[in-house]
Each structure stands twice: as structure tokens, then as C-alpha cells.
Amino acid sequence: MSNTEAAFDARSLTKRFGTRTVLDAVSFSISPGEIVALLGPNGAGKSTLIGCLLGFLLPDSGSSHMLGHDVREMPREARARTGYVPQTMGGFGSYRVGQLLRYLAAFYPGAPTPDSAWLSWAALDPKARVSTLSGGQKQRLAILLALQHRPEALILDEPVASLDPQARHDFMHLLSDYCTATGASVVISSHILSDLEKVCSRLLFMRRGVLVLDVPTTTFHAATRRLTPAPGAPADWTRLLPQALHVVGRDPGTNAALVGNWPDHDPAFALDNLPWPIRIERPDLEAAYLEITR
């Protein structure tokens, strides 16, 4: 992959199922080496977006490119540079673990042997029948299968949901090391925000099919604030905020607003012109997620 070629490039992706718009003009681009978190509640459109990114689903309008190729027409050589971990590992139940690893590895000619760190992390018996593995073991197998050919573009759809905390912790470290070593780009969807916060360089928030916020993780931490006005402030108090601040979420219960573009570098910046006292907090990802995707 050339340094300038985007690993993933979604352009105005729109997808409808019947009359329901599940993705609405979603656009973003992911550069080599980026690890991007795809965040949003159930039904936000994350799995549909992943389906479109991989070329499983055909968008009603817009386009999706992976490693510089339109995913609908991706040549075999380019597809061999990608990997995918599904939510649940289905199929291949009649294989033994070792048999399946060898069988699928054959479709990646010239690929290196599987990384021993990953094999040791997965801790799967090569002679075990796939159909007899537990849900977590199947998920480890799916991760091994997706990574054994060292992909440059990797999509993980809730890969850690059925892993135990130790396995999850180790997985995140290995993934981070893998990307540092190979320069691979990763899109990872998960509801375990604390894990994502540690490894992801960028956050994509989705709400009802719309990409509502696309922000680097460091910027998010530095320039996002939770502003809570004193009781008595009207619901539309945020219209009095300076133009530079961008409201990305609201909490109707407390009348608080989550704002971006906070000038963290300017210690003199204040909200003195508002008629009510404002409590200013640095939100953690979970609190911010709740307000952005509400």
C-alpha cells in the first residue's frame, strides 16, 4: 500500500432496506496505520456500514473503496490483503482447528506463517473440532483466521464481545502491536469503550445511520467538554455559545451539552458572557458516547 492511498474510503454511502434508510450519506477516509473505532448503539448502522465497506452489501448510492479498489470489483490480489472478523464465527464446523487454518491459509499464496504470538494468545487445540469450540474459542479462531495472512486492511465487527477480560486485554495489546509493526489499518466496532479508547487513533460515532462525529482520539480528549448550565437555563441555551464551539450531543435530563472544538490551548478562553454559571467538565468516552449517540 502506498503511503498516500487510503485503506478505506467511503463516499456518501447510502443504504436502504425497504423504506428504511439504514445508512445516510456516510463519508470518511482511513489512512494507512490508523486504528479507527466505529461507535454507536444497536441499530445505528455499524454492521451495515461494515457490510458496505467489505462489499457484502451493495449501497443504494455512493461508493466504497478498500486499498484503492472499488470493493464491488476488487481483484483477488487486493482482497488477499484484507481481513475480516465477523460478530460470530459460523460454518466450517466439520473441520478441526488445524485443518481449517491450513485450508484457508492456502488461499493466500506467499503469505507468511501465522504469528506465534497470536497462536499462543488463541490457545486453541489444533485437533479440536470447530463445532465443539465454545463461543469465545470460536471468536479467537475467527481472529486467527483473519490475521494469519497479515492483512493490511482489517475490519473487526464486535470481535471481543465473547472474550474473557484477560483475552480481551491481551487481544487489544496484540492488535496495537500488530498495527505498529505492519502499518495495517483497522476498523473496529465494539461496545467496550474502555478497550477502544486505549488503542484507537480515531473515533467514528454513528447515530441512526448518520456519521455524527469523526474525530481523532487525542483531539476528542483535548477539545471535548461537557457544559452543564445552572438550573433555570432554557433548553436552547446552547445558541448563546461562541460560534467556534460545535455542539455534538445533548443530555435533556440535565440540560447539559457536549461540545467540540474547545480551545484547550487557550487558558484564557471562558464562557463569561452567558447569563448562567456553567460547569465545565472533561468527559470520559463513555459519558460522551451516551450523549453523542442518544
Partner 1 sequence: MALWSTTDWRALRQYASPIFIRGNPFALTALFLLVSSLVQIASDGISREHHGANTSAMGISFAMSAIAAHYWRQVDNPIAPTVPGLQRSEYRAALAFAALVGAVLATLLFRSGATSGGAAAYVATALAFGSFVPTQRNGTHVQMALRMLIMLPIMVLSFVPSIQTAMLTLPAWIGWPVAVCAAAGIANALTFDRVRTTDAMARMETMLERSGSAPARRAGRDRGQSTNCLPATLSSSAGLAGEIAAPAGRFLAFLLFAIPSALVSAHGHGSTWHAVAPVVRVQVPLAAALSIMTSGDWLRHRDDWPILFATGFHGSRLNFARALTAAFIRRAVIMSIVNAVIMTGILAAMGSISIAMASSVGLAVASALFGASCLPCAIVLTGRFGSQGLVFAGAILGMILAAAACEGVCLGAEPRLPALLGSVALLLVGVLLLTATPRRLARTDWPLETG
List residues binding partner 1 (CB under 8 A): 17, 22, 42-43, 45, 47-48, 51, 54-58, 76-77, 79-80, 82-84, 86-95, 99, 103-104, 106-109, 129, 131, 133-135, 138, 142, 145-146
Pair type for strands 35-39 and 185-189: parallel
Q: Of 207, 188, 203, 158, which Cα lies nearest the Cα of 22?
A: 207
Nearer Cβ to partner 1 (54/186): 54
In whole angstroms, the minimum distance from the beta carbon of 172 to partner 1 comes to 22
Distance CA 254, CA 49 (A): 32
Q: In whole angstroms, how close is the CB of 153 to partner 1 at the nearest point? A: 11
Of 152, 69, 148, give the one whose Cα is nearest residue 107.
148
Residues 6+ apart with CB under 8 A from 218: 201
Q: Which of 11-28 are b and which e, b meaning 16 or more Cβ less than 10 Å from the residue's Cβ? A: eebbbeeeeebbbbebeb
Q: Which amino acid is at 31?
A: S
Q: Please identify, using beta-carbon distances, which residue of 71 and 223 lies nearer to partner 1.
A: 71
| Euclidean distance between CA atoms 79 and 153, whole angstroms | 9
Residue nearer to partner 1 on the CB measure, 47 or 190:
47
Candidates 55, 46, 81; CA nearest to 161 is: 46
252 grid coordinates: 435533556
Cα-Cα-Cα-Cα dihedral of 37, 41, 43, 48, to 10°? 0
Q: What are phi and psi of 111, to 5 degrees?
A: -70, 145
CB-wise, 65 or 225, nearer to partner 1?
A: 65
Instruction: Indicate the residue among 48 and 64 with the shorter CB distance to partner 1.
Output: 48
Smallest separation (angstroms) from partner 1 to the CB of 47: 5
The secondary structure of residue 237, as a DSSP letter, is G
**Could you tell me the smallest distance in angstroms from the CB atom of residue 102 to partner 1?**
9
- We find the least distance from the C-beta atom of residue 129 to partner 1, in angstroms, to be 8
CB of 96 to partner 1, least distance (A): 9
Beta-bridge partners for 65? 9, 70
Q: How far is the CB of 82 from partner 1 (least distance, A)?
A: 7
Toward partner 1, which CB reaches closer, 47 or 217? Answer: 47
Q: Whole-number minimum distance, CB 44 to partner 1, in Å? A: 9
Comparing CA positions, the residue from 60, 71, 55 lying closest to residue 18 is 60
